[in-house]
Each structure stands twice: as C-alpha cells, then as structure tokens.
Amino acid sequence: MSIRLAKRLSGGDPIILDLDTGMQRQYRYIRALWAKKPHDASMRSLSLFDHLCDTAAMAKKLWHFRVSKGNKNYIADACCTDIDGAGRLFVFLAAVHDIGKATPAFQSKTCIPANDLDDMIREQTVNMGMEIKDGDEYPFRCKTPHTLAGERLLRTMGCLYNIASIIGAHHGKPTEDNVVNEQVSYPSNYGTSQHWRNAQAEVLALALELSGFDDLHSVPIPSQPAQVLLTALVIMADWMSSNEKAFPYFEAGCTLSIDEQRRRADLAWEHFSLQAPAPRDDSWIYSDLYMDRFCFDANPMQLKVAESLCAQTVPSLMIIEAPMGQGKT
C-alpha cells in the first residue's frame, strides 16, 4: 500500500510523491529539518520528524488515559464520527501541527548565539536540495510565523478550514482569513522548489500514517466547538513534547527504532505523572482534595477556594485573584 500525494503548494507545480506506508519509510526530508534547538552551545537538537512523532505519541496517550469519556463523546459527536475516529483526528492534528516549520522562513532561524549546530543543520538541509538563505535575506520572515504557515500550507494542500484553523491556532491565537490570504505575497518564505514541497508533503504523509487515515477525505471534520477542544488538546500535546527533560534532544544522525520511539514516549508519559480524569461525582467534597489529587497540603488561599467550591449548588465559573506564587494554577 502507498500514499500518493498530488497537490499544489505555493502556486507551483503539483507534488507527485509516492511513499510506501509503514514506519520503515525514511522521511528523509523532514529528518534533515530541525524543530527544536538547544538554549546552550550543545550540538543536540530535535528533527522535525522526531518532534512530530513525539507529539503524536503524547496525543495518543492523552486520549487514552487523560481525556474524559464525556469530552471524547462530545468531540466524536461534534465530528460526526465515533470515539476512535475522534482520537485519530487528534493524533493527525498533533502529527501535522508543525508543518509550518518545513519552510525556509523557519529553517533559516539560528541559535542564540549562532553556533556550529546551525552550520551543520544548514549543510544537511542544502544537501537534500532544499535551498536556504541567511535569515536577513528573508525580509518578510516575520510575516510568516510557523503557525500561520502551517494553516496556509494545509489549506493549499486540500485541508478544510475546520482542520487547518486548528493548526493556525496551536500557539493560542487563531488566525484571520485575510492574514492567511496575504501569505501569497511571500512565496520565498515557503520555498519554491520541488524539494521544499516534498518536505511539506512528507509531514502530511506522516500525519496520515500515524493517525491511520488513508487520505485527507477520510479525516473527520470538526464543528466549531470541537475545534476549540481539539486546539486545547493539541496545545497540551505540543507542550508536553516540547519538554526537553521528557524528550531529550539527539546528536546529529541519531535515528530511533520503532521500539525505541515507543519506549521514549512511555518514559515521557511517566515523567509527567498525569492522573486519570477525576470521577464526575461529589466524592471530592468529603476528601482532602489537594492531598488526594495533587499530593500536597493546601495553603489558606487554596483552602478558601475549596470551601467556595463546596458551597456551589449549580455549575459555576470561579475567578481567582491572588498575588503571584500563591498557588492559583
């Protein structure tokens, strides 16, 4: 079985890309691109391929172990699918969320300060045929943040707005239609060669593979309320996979086997120690809420919050105002 993509990107020639399914596929373009660089002078980084696999793995675990049954049912109903289909939609979104990093506008960014790692990554990018200039040679790079680039690329590749908009909002701020449409003015930010289009197509192919969909037409279409919930879940999965302690960076050329990828995800999940969803009943009222749920004794402000919650008789919204460091979060 193979995935065949033939879509137009950035107004260029159609992509004709045949990729064998199965994780043995090389994904050689997006293995050469970076997604995460260190904040020090080390030579460790995280490729776009690895970061997307990490994020998809966290999405799978969040869906199975953390998202409540009520939210699963709500999202499934709002996407006109079943719980399995809704979960796979979440995985698809997590695996495609950083497609906007497969652009020269993003890849031209350097470490602060610039170091040998930048030169090494640039060399392997150019060796794959993806031409890239110095950052100052992209005068409008600031016009194309990777979230916006991701939404625009997905729309161009045939993704419906309902899905692409979630990618545009995965850093917390939805994009406006006019801003997306203005991106046609910055073709160099997206790369105009076939090699850049192949890299972008690889991200989509990886997302389809990891989520188990045959093509974009098979991906469920979320309603607006479902888009809000799915955006929040993608943000959480991305936040988790961006934690360097949970997902350490690699030396150049490091490639994990399938078993090693699963072990990496398992260890990361253990690192976060997330609990299962709390039961939907009143048992918490009669327990030591903070010790039972968070394993610490509450301070006076937190005790007052618990007392106020216990006094509510109808669903309510609580706004907590207190100085920084009091434990509001």
Give the model confidence (pLDDT) of 259-293 as tens digits: 999 999 999 999 999 887 777 777 777 678 888 87
259 and 287 co-located in one domain: no
pLDDT of residue 286: 67
Q: How many residues does the chain have?
A: 329
Nearest to 190 by CA among 110, 107, 255: 107
48 and 103 co-located in one domain: yes
pTM of the predicted model over 0.85: no
pLDDT of residue 269: 97
83-96 and 161-168 are packed helices; what angle lies between their axes, rounded to 10 degrees? 50
The tokens 């972008």 sit on which residue? 200
Q: Which residue ranges in the chain fall short of pLDDT 70?
A: 1-25, 286
pLDDT of residue 184: 93
299 and 178 co-located in one domain: no
265 and 286 co-located in one domain: no
pLDDT of residue 17: 42
160 and 234 co-located in one domain: yes
261 and 311 co-located in one domain: no
pLDDT of residue 25: 59
Q: Which of 272, 292, 312 is the last residue of a domain?
A: 272
pLDDT of residue 16: 38
257 and 298 co-located in one domain: no
Q: Which of 272, 302, 317 is the last residue of a domain?
A: 272
Q: Please, which residues bridge with residue 19 across strands?
A: 3
209 and 255 co-located in one domain: yes
Domain of 256? 2-272
pLDDT of residue 133: 85
164 and 55 co-located in one domain: yes
116 and 240 co-located in one domain: yes
The tokens 């045939």 sit on which residue? 158
pLDDT of residue 279: 72
Q: What is the number of structural domains in the chain?
A: 2
Task: Give the CATH number, domain containing residue 31.
Answer: 1.10.3210.30
61 and 26 co-located in one domain: yes
39 and 109 co-located in one domain: yes
* Contact present, 227 and 57 (Cβ < 8 Å): no
pLDDT of residue 241: 97
Alpha helices in the chain (DSSP H): 28-32, 48-65, 69-78, 83-96, 104-107, 116-127, 146-156, 161-168, 177-181, 187-190, 194-211, 224-241, 258-272, 289-294, 300-311
